[in-house]
Amino acid sequence: MKASNYILPTTKENPSDAVIASHRLMIRAGLVRKSAAGLYHYLPMGLRILKKIERIVREEMDASGALEFELPILTPAEIWQESGRWNKMGREMFRQKDRHDMDYCLGPTHEEAFTTLLKPILKSYKDLPKNVYQIHTKFRDEIRPRFGVIRCREFLMKDAYSFHVDENSLDETYQLMRKTYRKIFTRCGLKTIPVQADSGNMGGSGSEEFMVISPVGEETLSICPACGYSGNVEKTPVIYNFGEGKIEIPPFEKVHTPDKKTIKEVADFLGVQESDTIKSVLLKADEKLNTAIFIRGDREINEVKLNNFLKTSELRPLTEDECLSLGLIPGFTGPILEKKENLKVLFDWSIDKNKAYVTGGNEPDYHIKNFVVFRDLASVPNTFDFGLAVESDPCPQCNKPLKLEKGIEVGHIFKLGDKYSKAFDVKVSAQSGKTITPLMGCYGIGLNRTMATIIEQCNDENGIFWPISVAPFEFSLVSITKIDEEKRKIEEIYEYLTNNGLEVFWDERDLGPGFKFKDSELIGFPIRITLGKNFFEKKEISILNRKNKMEINLNYHTNEDLKEELLKMKTQLYKELEA
């Protein structure tokens, strides 16, 4: 491809709304342009990259035995209502009515659609297992789209759904997809970590996210350097090592704490550690359930764990008026409460039932000292894990300290179980002659997000350095000529290379060499070939490895020799991806 025939709107200026490298560089390198909040146009260079990622995903999915489909993006409300997710999906779902006043949505995912499609097709155990997939546009009405295409409202996704007669079959495909995902991301040049994750609205018995460690990641990962455990903090159990036995503790006493509402204010005022306090978190779940959760003062509620426990999807703080109507005093609510039918009271297992704590006195400007759960409550409550893991918490597998890292999610695999097959009454005949409900798995990859994440891992002060497998073009040919005869010679070389299967982007624009070099480095072509003064005077060709910036000078003899040298370099770059 000749640069003069291309649309290549590179720019030196960073976009004002871009705060991470991938967003800045995708704009500056002319890969995308913003249409509206969370919506992006893909320009020719960016689309080539996205299509290469798509090709890798398709090749590996096909190699795994999965079958490609394409379903409508617009899906009828009735199938979402039947599965129970029409309301549960919340405001992220784009909903609309047609001219007949029928409800539809732009699919954020396609469990319902694939299940209803396959229901009349899969009739017997002989038809299973099957793994079906599509690579298609998805929509989510993000409350705050950000980070360019990492969190946007329209995106390209590979979503796959498998159907099985039993758990063993489901696990086989789950493990196969796990290996397939590692192959996909390795071919894309990404180093990923599979971490235990929450299944969220997808449901099911288990799931793993494929994460890329990155300081700009929106997810927090808990990683154990000792045993290799890895998990999303939303899923990671929080372990507390309490002392054994009971000690004599003075009776609790009510103390005056004027205007001291926050944990820090109370702890400082009474001269105790925040870990020696119990705080109340007062929430409304799905606008119907009032909840008071008591947790150690230095800990935070993990909303994912709490929603899973309550089987709800959205939480918000109770307003002051709502608290007062329930007889709760904001900032001073403690666990010694009268039983209320319209209030669910829960205790986090961060609270040692035999230890003395400072807690709310259920009276304005008062707290209680020396409160002990085991001694001071009429009945000892069960405790549950509602807490968010923090740095140096014990590993749930080996008890050694955890390390926290930020990560970007690029893929997610789920064991859905019978959630959707049961909801849609899918039945197949078993080998015994009885009918059974098949089990399902689900496997997703965000292609746009994968593209941006590669940039987050592969950039420097000059721009992007694409892994050769997904680069828009494998070679950048920069020519510096003065006369037509020189240009004709370079065109001969360019045509020879392209006719022999090499992807070459020839920058023959009438611009200075510095401008061309900067564009080449900004866009991130893996190998740059420079033909200029040294070529015409000394038959010397400069070849630059964009990633490591190593440059060699090759003595030119024939086009065939040049082609063979470039093929060697290309092969080496592909080998480095597999290392």
183 three-state secondary structure: helix
Report whether 112 contacts 420 (CB < 8 A): yes
Q: Which residues are CB-neighbours of 23 under 8 A, at least 6 positions away?
A: 15, 17, 147, 148, 149, 150, 452
Name the burial class of residue 113, with classes exposed (0-12), middle (13-18) and buried (19+) by CB atoms within 10 angstroms of its CB. Answer: buried
pLDDT of residue 202: 45
Q: What is the pLDDT of residues 68-127, one digit of tens each?
A: 999 999 999 999 999 999 988 878 899 999 999 999 999 999 999 999 999 999 999 999
pLDDT beyond 90 at 378: no
pLDDT of residue 16: 87
Report whether 508 contacts 479 (CB < 8 A): yes
Domains and CATH numbers, the chain: 49-233+404-456 (3.30.930.10), 253-384 (3.90.960.10), 464-578 (3.40.50.800)
Q: What is the pLDDT of residues 169-220, one digit of tens each?
A: 999 999 999 999 999 999 999 999 988 876 554 445 578 999 999 988 888 9
Q: Which helix (H) or strand (E) holds 414?
A: strand 403-417
- Mean pLDDT of the 42-63 span: 98
Q: d(Cα 26, Cα 35) in Å, to the nearest integer?
A: 14
Q: d(Cα 283, Cα 86) in Å, to the nearest integer?
A: 23
Which residue blocks in 138-278 are alpha helix, DSSP H? 167-187, 263-270
Q: What is the pLDDT of residues 130-140, one digit of tens each?
A: 999 999 999 99
pTM, whole model, 2 decimals? 0.85
Count the neighbouring beta carbons within 10 Å of the beta carbon of residue 313.
16
Report whether 562 contacts 493 (CB < 8 A): yes
- Mean pLDDT of the 378-407 span: 93
Q: d(Cα 527, Cα 320) in Å, to the nearest integer?
A: 63
- DSSP track, 281-332: EEEEETTTEEEEEEEETT--B-HHHHHHHHT-S-EEEPPHHHHHHTT--TT-
Q: d(Cα 384, Cα 325) in Å, to the nearest integer?
A: 27
Could you tell me the CA-to-CA distances from 67 to 23, 62, 128, 319 in Å, in that order?
Answer: 33, 7, 13, 51
Q: d(Cα 234, Cα 66) in Å, to the nearest integer?
A: 30
pLDDT of residue 88: 82
Q: What is the pLDDT of residues 247-268, one digit of tens each?
A: 788 999 999 999 999 999 999 9
How far the first Cα of the chain sits from its last, in Å, is 31
